[in-house]
Amino acid sequence: MVGNHVSHANNKTKRRFEINLLEKKFYLPSEDAWIFLKISAHGLRIINKLGIEEAVAKARKQGFIK
C-alpha cells in the first residue's frame, strides 16, 4: 500500500506501508522440533489464540507451510 508523508507545511512525499513481519522460532512438541516462521503481528495473535499445533496444521492444510 502506498500513501503520503504530510509535513506540518502540508508538503507531500511518497511513502509505503510495509507489513509488520516478525521472524519467530516455535517449538512443536508433537514433532519434537523447532520451526522458524516469518509471520505478521496478526498471525502471531492467531497462534496465541489457537496454539502453535493447530495453527501449523491449518497452515499446512492451506499450503502455506510444507
pLDDT by residue, tens only, the chain of 66 residues: 999 999 999 999 999 999 899 999 999 999 999 999 999 999 999 999 999 999 999 999 999 887
DSSP string for the chain: -EEEEE-TT--EEEEE----EEEEEEEETTTTEEEEEEEEHHHHHHHHHH-HHHHHHHHHHHTS--
| Domain spans, the chain | 19-66
Q: Calculate helix-pair angle for 41-50, 52-62, nearest 10 degrees.
A: 120
If you count them, how many residues does the chain have?
Answer: 66
pLDDT tens-place string over residues 39-56: 999 999 999 999 999 999
Residue 56 is predicted with a pLDDT of 93
> What is d(CA 36, CA 34) in angstroms, rounded to the nearest whole number?
7
